Structure 1
Amino acid sequence: MTKPQVIFDPFSEEFFTDPFDMYRRMRQDAPLYYNADLDFFALTRHDDVASALKNHDAFSSSRGCDLAMVQSGEPPQKSIIFMDPPDHRHMRSLLNKAFTPRAIQAQKDTVIEQIDHFLRQIDSDEFDVVQDFSGPFPVEVITRMAGVDPEYRQQVRHWIDTSLSREPGQIGYTEAGMQATMDTAIYYYSLVQKRREDPRDDMISRLIAAEIPGEDGQLRRLDDIEITGFATLLGGAGAETVTKLVGTAMVLFARHPEQWQKLLDDRGKIPAAVEELLRYEGPVQYNVRYTLKEADVPSGTIPAGKAVFLISAAANRDPDAFTDADAFDIDRDRTEAQNLGLGYGIHSCLGAALARMESCIALERLLDFMPRYEVNWDGLQRVHMQNVAGYSHVPVRRLS
């Protein structure tokens, strides 16, 4: 009997609802997947995805990170995630200074303050983990670092959510998403202007003062468009990652109460739990690259000039990389394979340490706040977003 053909549609209701069965079939039957209708390739095995993420000479980021951007042929906005070396190296070196271990540690008090603030606002045993907690607090942390005015910090989060949202079958921006993207850029551009006139102790002011090597080898300052791009990226990544991770965590722990009990018994397991959450159902599903030349991966060869989905969420469930890969187990052996949940290679998440710290503190506080809880399963709502997975609504009830 012939197996049904594997179909990977990253803009389908099936993908938005639960892509993991689709990923399993792709790993088994079509590890080097090609979609003729939309003219893209997709990689799902851990060896393939990790290999491609490390090979920036062949798999370029310069055309963007989603299918619409890569296939448009239009150069994307100036941003570090849309750069290849040497430009990427110069920018990464500059931005790394904002995320040194000392700089991250300096944010700890702010993280705790914001987490405690939003938990104190919850005055009922029934509330929404995402809307009332994991949505609001991370964006406060990252936008403070950037220098965003207090009255705009939550607005940034709503702009990001709207810009990433997709309807089933829709490859590019929605009309609302396009407007949200423009509103975000206009706000950050105006903020850069303000900081040029009145520098503060924030990231945008430091980017204005910074110098990087130009094409002629001479040092140059960043222009307003470049700084706007970095600020937009920072706000988006810093808000979305932790918001989705914590929301998904409370769903997974409700489905696997024995794992939650492990944390109640031993808070020392919290960092390992965050790593397993990133592996098992992390916020980032994939990134799209463009092949500058014919590119080899363990499963085969991809022609030049093609969009390629590097599906890290599928790779993180590869049974050839992880023992019992479809099991959610916070005690698993972390040395078996690279966790791709926050990227790999030169484009690994710039704020990974901050995201991990925020997630650990959030879980610790939630263990105190709701040691026993239940999810209102009928009220769960997944997001419909390009390359980002998670929930927009996770209604729960505290039991003790």
Structure 2
Amino acid sequence: MTAPELRFDPVSQDYFDNPYEIYRRMRDEAPIYYDAEEDFYALTRHEDVAAALKDHEAFSSARGCDLGMVRSEDGPVKSIIFMDPPEHRHMRSLLNKAFTPRAIQSQRETVIELVEHYLSKVDPDNFDVVQDFSGPFPVEVITRMAGVPEEFRQQVRHWIDKGLERKPGQIEWSDENMQANIDSGVYYYGLVQERRRNPQDDMISRLIAAEIPGENGEMRKLDDIEITGFTSLLGGAGAETVTKLLGSAVVEFARHPEQWQMLLDDRNLIPDAVEELLRYVGPVQYNVRYTVKEAHVPSGTIPAHKPVFLMKAAANRDPRAFDNAETFDITRDRTQAQNLGLGYGIHSCLGAALARTETAIALEHLLDFMPRFEVDFSGLQRVNMQNVAGYHHVPVKVLR
């Protein structure tokens, strides 16, 4: 019996339901995959994806990070993930100040307080890890840092979810996606103007006060549109990553109870568990780049002026890079290959250290709260989202 034709459709229900089987075939059969119908390329092997993530001169971010954006005539809103050097470098050095080790350390108490707050409200006999816990708390952390008032913090999460949602077959933005992005943008724009009138000790106020080199080399201030773009991006990245990672973590530990037991026996393994979760079920599946010239990776050549999917989640399960790559193992040798779960190269995740800290603190508290638990696998609901994977619903019961 011949295998069915290999088809990677980033908005098919098959892909949303189980991307990893498709990735395995792509790595083996078509490491430089080309879709003639939609005219895009996709890379899935670790060495190719890592090479492309580092080669920002050939693989440009300036047109956006998903297929609909890259093909759009309008181009994306001004934001750091949609920039190439030197503009990217100036912005990155400015935003890095919000995520220094000291800044992350200063958030620990906030994270612990929020984790404990949300866990204290759940019913151990029946709760949803995502809806009741991993959804609400990360967005509180990042929006508090940005300066969003408490009453709007959860609303930000709903805008993000709606903006990323994709129905099977939908590549371009829908009216609902557009409306969520507009509502979010209008809200943040108003907040930026409010902070201009009344500065606070928050990220928006610091971005208003900051200066970066302009095109002519002279220092300039950021405008309201730029600051709006950054804050809405950081809200999205800061909320989505940890929300999806923790939901997937609980599912994987339910499937591998011996790994959960290892954590119960030795809490020092928590950082390793976070790394393995980022490798094995990292929430960000891919980023799309655009080749501004002919591009070369170890597996071959990609023509100029093409969208290219850099499939980080596929690369992270490449047996050419990791031993037993399809096995979830929190004790694995992490020196074998670069974990691409939070990116690589100049666009690696700004808030990576914060995401790791939040996930580690959450796991620590979940070990105390539910040393033994079961997941209702029939109630699992995956998200259908542009480039983000994970669950909307993970029903759990704590076992006495």
Structure 1 residues 371-390: aligned runs within 5 Å: 371-390=371-390
| Aligned pairs for 1:81-96 within 5 A | 81-96=81-96
Query: Which residue number in structure 2 is paired with residue 364 of structure 1?
Result: 364
Asked if structure 2 preserves the Cα contact closer than 8 Å seen for 1:13 and 1:168, the reply is yes
Q: Using the alignment, how far apart are the partners of 2:27 and 2:288 within structure 1? A: 18
Q: Deviations for 1:3-62, whole angstroms, at most 9, x for unmatched residues? A: 543110010001100110100000000000000010000000000000000000000000
Q: SS of the counterpart of 1:290?
A: strand
- 1:1-400 aligned at under 5 Å gives the runs 3-400=3-400
Structure 2 CA distance for aligned equivalents of residues 317 and 75 of structure 1:
32
SS at match of 2:185: helix
Amino acid corresponding to residue 109 of structure 1 in structure 2? E
CA distance in 2, matches of 1:215, 1:260: 52
Q: Distance in 2 between matches of 1:131 and 1:335?
A: 35
Q: Name the CA shift for 1:282/1:194 in 2 (closer, same or farther; >3 Å).
A: same
What amino acid does structure 2 have at the position aligned with 1:211? E
CA distance in 1, matches of 2:227, 2:166: 27
Q: Is 175-184 or 140-149 further displaced after alignment?
A: 175-184
1:227 aligned partner, one-letter code: I
4+ residue runs of structure 1 moved beyond 4 angstroms? Answer: none
Q: Is the 8 A contact 1:63 1:73 kept in 2?
A: no
Deviation string, structure 1 residues 179-215 (Cα, Å, up to 9, x no partner): 1100000000000000000000000000000000000
Number of aligned residue pairs? 400
- Deviation string for 1:341-365 (max 9, x for gaps)? 0000000000000000000000000
CA contact (8 A) 1:165 1:174 kept: no
Deviates more, 1:47-56 or 1:121-130: 121-130
Structure 1 residue 65: deviation in Å?
0.1
Secondary structure of the corresponding residue to residue 107 of structure 1: helix
Residues in 2 aligned to 1:242 and 1:177: alpha-carbon distance in whole angstroms? 22
After TM superposition, the score normalised by the length of structure 1 is 0.99
Q: Hey, what's the Cα distance between the residues in 2 that align with 1:138 and 1:239?
A: 5
Cα displacement string for residues 298-350 of structure 1 (whole angstroms, at most 9, x for unaligned residues): 11100000000000000000000000000000000000000000000000000
SS in 2 for 1:392: strand
What CA distance in whole angstroms lies between the structure 2 residues aligned with 1:96 and 1:46? 27
Give the C-alpha shift of residue 73 in structure 1.
2.9
Paired residue secondary structure (1:220): strand
> Is the partner of 1:341 in helix, strand or coil?
coil
Separation (CA, whole Å) in 2 of partners of 1:73 and 1:281:
33
Query: What is the CA–CA distance in structure 1 between the aligned matches of 2:16 and 2:357, rounded to whole Å?
Result: 28
1:279 Cα deviation (Å)?
0.2
Separation in structure 1 between the aligned mates of residue 174 and residue 380 of structure 2, nearest angstrom:
23
For 2:77 and 2:120, the matched residues in 1 are separated by: 39
Q: 1:256-309: CA deviations, max 9, x gaps?
A: 001000000000000000000000010000000000000000111000000000
Matched letter for residue 228 of structure 2:
T
Identical counterparts, % of pairs: 73
Structure 1 CA distance for aligned equivalents of residues 181 and 247 of structure 2: 24
The TM-score with structure 2 as length reference comes to 0.99
CA distance in structure 2 between the partners assigned to 1:172 and 1:15 by the alignment: 17
Q: Distance in 2 between matches of 1:174 and 1:389?
A: 19
Deviation at 1:124, TM superposition (A): 4.0
Partner of 2:309, secondary structure, is strand
- Structure 1 letter corresponding to 2:274: V
Give the aligned residue type for 1:273. Answer: A
* 1:89 CA drift (Å): 0.1
Measure, in 2, the Cα distance between the counterparts of 1:191 and 1:2: 58
**Secondary structure of 1:308 counterpart:** strand
Q: Give, as a single letter, the amino acid of the residue that structure 2 aligns with 1:368.
A: D
Letter aligned with residue 184 of structure 1: S
Letter of the 1:290 partner, please give it: Y
- 1:123 Cα deviation after fit: 3.3
RMSD over equivalenced CA pairs, Å: 0.8
Supply the distance in 1 between the matched residues of 2:46 and 2:291 (Cα, whole angstroms).
Answer: 19
